Amino acid sequence: MLELRHLKTLHALRESDSLVEAAERLHLTQSALSHQFKELEERLGLPLFVRKTKPVRFTSAGLRLLQLADAVLPQLRSAERDLVRLAGGTAGRLHMAIECHSCFQWLMPTIDQFRDAWPEVELDLASGFSFAPLPALARGDLDLVVTSDPVELAGITYVPLFTYEAQLAVANQHPLAGKPHVTPEDLAGETLIHYPVERDRLDIFTRFLDPADVEPAGTRTAELTVMMLQLVASGRGVSCLPNWALHEYSSRGYVTAKKLGEKGLYATLYAGIRADMLDAPFMRDFLLTAKDTSFATLEGVSAARG
């Protein structure tokens, strides 16, 4: 009656909060996923979740199956890893760098799981803030780079991890806090606080202000997210951050998060990988673990579309 695909789809629905996003994660159409749920519910004679609720509200039957999924799916992944080890290919090197200041929130749990699963793989992590990691990747000095700014390089493939929304953090008393969304012109009189990276690597400039030919009144930098948001909360400026990094503070009423533009400003985070490493079993497992961890721990991310 029950199949592994049923547990995987229920798990994906819980992590995605909608049929649309769950279908994207599973690389299915929404209609195919809906049919799969309907078929299972007819077999069981029980509904598994309440339709048209957000976040998705599961029935008692759905919650029981999710308990089973939480118990079985990790064991399945573990068994698959063991089989790969038995077939060989357990050793290797995974040296990585990140170009995202906010990525540690989900990357460190990913690395912890990976170390436990692949103890024979030499793992090293470096910050890409003080050097150019993508050229180092192309040279073979690195094996993986987490970036939101892919650059076409020979022998490098970019695997999308997830899509997120870049939002503007403003003080709760700021005049922009009451607007439905922020326009580029709204920032002409503002101090923009950002991470200490080049301007051409910041979406707030390249995709929002520069196309509108708008320059902020001033800029200042801070290395840590919490430092940036302390400055924002005290009225020293505004800051553009990924929604997952901002949610922790906006949900507590520390600052207010605003949409950039009427339609929002969205970006995708990628793992840049050398082509010769793509088929390494431990690399494939790292990417799966990274995606699972990000969807499980980050608020507001969705399946990457590109």
What pLDDT does residue 88 have? 66
List b or e across 165-198, with b for residues whose CB sees 16 or more CB atoms inside 10 angstroms: bbbbbbbeebebeeeebbebebbeebbbbbbeee
Q: Are strands 156-170 and 121-127 parallel, antiparallel or unpaired?
A: unpaired
- Whether residues 241 and 168 share a domain: the answer is yes
Q: How many domains does the chain have?
A: 3
Evaluated on CA atoms 7, 296, 166, 96, the torsion sign reads negative
What pLDDT does residue 21 have? 85
Residue 304 domain-assigned (yes or no): no
d(CA 56, CA 51): 8
Residue 306 domain-assigned (yes or no): no
Instruction: Kindly give the interhelix angle for 4-16 and 30-44, rounded to the nearest 10 degrees.
Output: 120
Residue 107 domain-assigned (yes or no): yes
d(CA 229, CA 251): 13
What pLDDT does residue 120 have? 84
What pLDDT does residue 26 have? 86
Q: What does pTM read for this prediction?
A: 0.70
Q: How far does CA 21 lie from the centroid of its chain? A: 13
d(CA 195, CA 279): 34
Q: Which of 222, 231, 240 is nearest to 184 (CA)?
A: 240
What pLDDT does residue 167 have? 96
Phi, psi dihedral angles at 305 (to 5 degrees): -105, 0
Residue 112 domain-assigned (yes or no): yes
What does the DSSP 8-state code read for residue 204?
A: I
Q: What is the mean pLDDT of each run of 10 residues along the chain (306 residues)?
A: 89 86 86 91 92 87 93 87 68 84 80 87 76 87 90 93 94 96 97 90 93 96 91 96 91 95 93 90 90 84 72
CATH of the domain at 222: 3.40.190.10
Identify the domain containing residue 179 by its residue range: 163-266
- Whether residues 201 and 169 share a domain: the answer is yes
